[in-house]
Structure 1
């Protein structure tokens, strides 16, 4: 169980992941929702044919703290608190892959025993057990860079367990989002000592395409980073002595980041650097620092590679950093699961519990193990319904030039809509990007992702390698830029999702039929949800939203009849 933000409940039955249900994907809940009440859990289990008494072991993810963390929530509406593991390994719990806290928690009048591991351990476990390296019985480095954590490197050996290799540099992952509080459209005059807007990081990844990397700004970033965080100045020494990456709710790790950006801003503004160029430079600085430091750490720990690498934590949602790591010569392969942020923490907690009995062995899973579509209340009166095959859906996308909400099967794990809770559209008109951003209340500079038949991707994208989870950056080849303008970002790149016949048979059929009709094996794909909420849980929710006039689900096309 992951009780705090990005709350989720996951179940492993032997090595098989049965489900991972994130709270934000139930009933149009807000993004980052917590598990507010333990009494929700029996109902979630029942949806998949399980009862609480069927569960052999309960494991709760850790939270902010250096010895332990505390989570406050409800049970049947009554307040309760649970002591959990700390944010990462520490002197109090030096072994990341061993339980650091145990106790009991209340649920519906009963008491259940649980164990808890450090929060970082869940990221390590979820990334490794879902990886192709675990399937092959190979060891791997695992990099974890989470919001309240300094980037930390681990070595996972399926026989020997987890080895801690230490931090790369003393800066919490929230630093990327905090840049948006000092530069650009989300800049604030008064800064908070807390990180109170988790959506900014994703927006900044899009916004940086409006700027160019400035060499002078890079030099300033390097100098101020060293001064504030790694120098021998008294304030930097004090920072390193008192802040260890144990969670931004536990320690004063945010104010020094504001000091860093304030100093950078004062200097780059004097040099005439725009906010757009400053943010592009911040992104490039962190990317270079990450690759430089992990390369040195890997070589110092294990020697020349190339090696396997897993990347997890909220920072692993940064597709450009993921691609930079994949291109680094020290790594033969880089794995990022579709749930690298805290949406995968419940999976990691369950994997840690299983590891005490079976070791860090592979998990049988697929990315479509979220909640099923809930029964729809009655549709609004201005909607009709008719049978519609996937091939007919492709024809509608081609001939109408309008988007369609597609709600199909169980929801995706993690934050990316991969075809189960998506809005699909033809990519051949540049105006489609503007239309999709309009209906979703998004900023106009935000990109729309392409989905592409896996076999056609290398001819359209560079590198065009199979990437079924939309977590890496690809350039659109020159001869395709005018053919699919709706899915090209301002910098000529795209967050590609490839689709093979084994990934999603429905999507593969729709894409194949659209390819035959249009000569284009690509469609637009963006998540189907209310702004700031999780995916639509049923057809009625999408119809009540009503900003797209067609919805396809389970072989049925629903259409607005009022124009």
Structure 2
């Protein structure tokens, strides 16, 4: 807990300016907890409501395409997929009311069941069992409802609950000073909740670090040590502080040639996806142009093509990476979002121009980057804009299915799902027809969840 609070605040603009901030921590195994952080002090303010973060993923174990026999398990990987899947559904207020009634009866109210649940909320097994029973009771009342509507409605139920209870907590604990918020814990990956808090007007500014889940554990430990010695002071950091690229030989079946950023932009403009490896890897779970697969967003078929490459479901969106100064004309709000952590709507006049990055509900998980940035991906976007007039590209992570980023070009070539790999000025092009690693793994895998 302390690591989440320290890493979120010490990396924030609020620490840089010496301003205090609230910090919301909501992780898979804990209820949402609100803290207040100042330079020399941090304190717990409130528990917002008695629901563990894992309940969102658990909903997917009971409804929809990820439904599992036996219901809720400690499988957090479903949560991000559900954020995409709910775009297939519509919010049904009758379903929302069912969840509200069961929430009161089983978690938050004065019933014996709810009181017993809260008494055992720190027991992981007891909490998971209670969540499973909650959804079993829900399913009995929602048998006739489409699963996509059930999950869309459950998402909105939790979103409203979060914003409402946050407002009550701020009223209950009147703390003078700026109303800034840092968000930490795995639930910080829910860009729609982040955006709902930002749109609520409860806060002057919101900060979500790119490593808010357990990927920020090391930074959290370092920030705790720093806080113990100097207080909650700002940390010097960069999101591109992961492992450097390893050197490698050109693999068999591939050729290599030098390739400038301008030449690469021309390749992308011809609608050919490219694995883009530049400098150090990103911190956190998001590919932000250091370990990415990039592609033109102008073809309607590109989203499906990239999802096929990544063995992902057809409804999963592909994110745009866009020059920051052009983003407001293409997206709403289109405000700076360097770590892909808020929800944006694609403006109507742009949806047919860049269909590959438009989600089913018109939204986009936007990443922005300044055109003056020295990072190669920014330079690439500038060159691509010169050729096409489009200041953005499709961006998805370059990695083996379910694993970390590629450590070198040879790993991307061994994966083999994209025929071109650009690595710090060198373009590797596939010439052989040998099967990729993932093709071999998936041909023999007993697992259905892709």
Residues 373 and 379 of structure 2 are in contact (CA less than 8 Å); yes or no, is this contact kept in structure 1? no
Distance (Å, rounded) in 1 between the aligned partners of 2:156 and 2:217: 28
Match of 1:285 among 153, 157, 175: 157
Other-structure match for 1:143: 24
Deviation of 1:135 after TM superposition, in Å, equals 0.2
Match of 1:339 among 211, 215, 230: 211
* C-alpha spacing 1:158/1:305, structure 2 compared with 1 (3 Å): closer
Residues 416 and 469 of structure 1 are in contact (CA less than 8 Å); yes or no, is this contact kept in structure 2? yes
Query: Where does 1:336-485 land on structure 2 (aligned, <5 Å)?
Result: 336-376=208-248, 378-399=249-270, 401-485=271-355
Distance (Å, rounded) in 2 between the aligned partners of 1:547 and 1:481: 28
Distance (Å, rounded) in 2 between the aligned partners of 1:409 and 1:234: 57
Match of 2:146 among 237, 251, 274: 274
Other-structure match for 1:217: 95
Other-structure match for 2:120: 242
Report the TM-score, using the length of structure 2 for normalisation: 0.94
Q: Deviations over 1:87-114 (max 9, x none)?
A: xxxxxxxxxxxxxxxxxxxxxxxxxxxx
Distance (Å, rounded) in 2 between the aligned partners of 1:427 and 1:514: 12
Deviation of 1:555 after TM superposition, in Å, equals 0.7
Report the TM-score, using the length of structure 1 for normalisation: 0.75
Matched, 1:164 2:44: yes
Deviation of 1:198 after TM superposition, in Å, equals 2.2
Residues 371 and 382 of structure 2 are in contact (CA less than 8 Å); yes or no, is this contact kept in structure 1? no
Q: Deviations over 1:71-102 (max 9, x none)?
A: xxxxxxxxxxxxxxxxxxxxxxxxxxxxxxxx
Other structure's SS at 1:252 match: helix
Other structure's SS at 1:223 match: helix
Query: Please, which runs of 5 or more residues in structure 1 have no aligned partner?
Result: 1-119
Other-structure match for 1:186: 66
Other structure's SS at 2:305 match: helix
Other structure's SS at 1:384 match: strand
Which structure has the highest strand share of the two?
1
Distance (Å, rounded) in 1 between the aligned partners of 2:297 and 2:177: 40
Distance (Å, rounded) in 2 between the aligned partners of 1:257 and 1:504: 47
Residues 305 and 330 of structure 1 are in contact (CA less than 8 Å); yes or no, is this contact kept in structure 2? no
Other-structure match for 1:261: 135
Residues 180 and 205 of structure 2 are in contact (CA less than 8 Å); yes or no, is this contact kept in structure 1? yes
Number of equivalenced pairs? 433
Matched, 1:514 2:384: yes
Residues 20 and 178 of structure 2 are in contact (CA less than 8 Å); yes or no, is this contact kept in structure 1? no
Query: Please, which runs of 5 or more residues in structure 2 have no aligned partner?
Result: 434-450
Deviation of 1:504 after TM superposition, in Å, equals 4.8
CA RMSD of aligned residues (A): 1.3
> Runs of 4+ in structure 1 displaced over 6 angstroms?
none
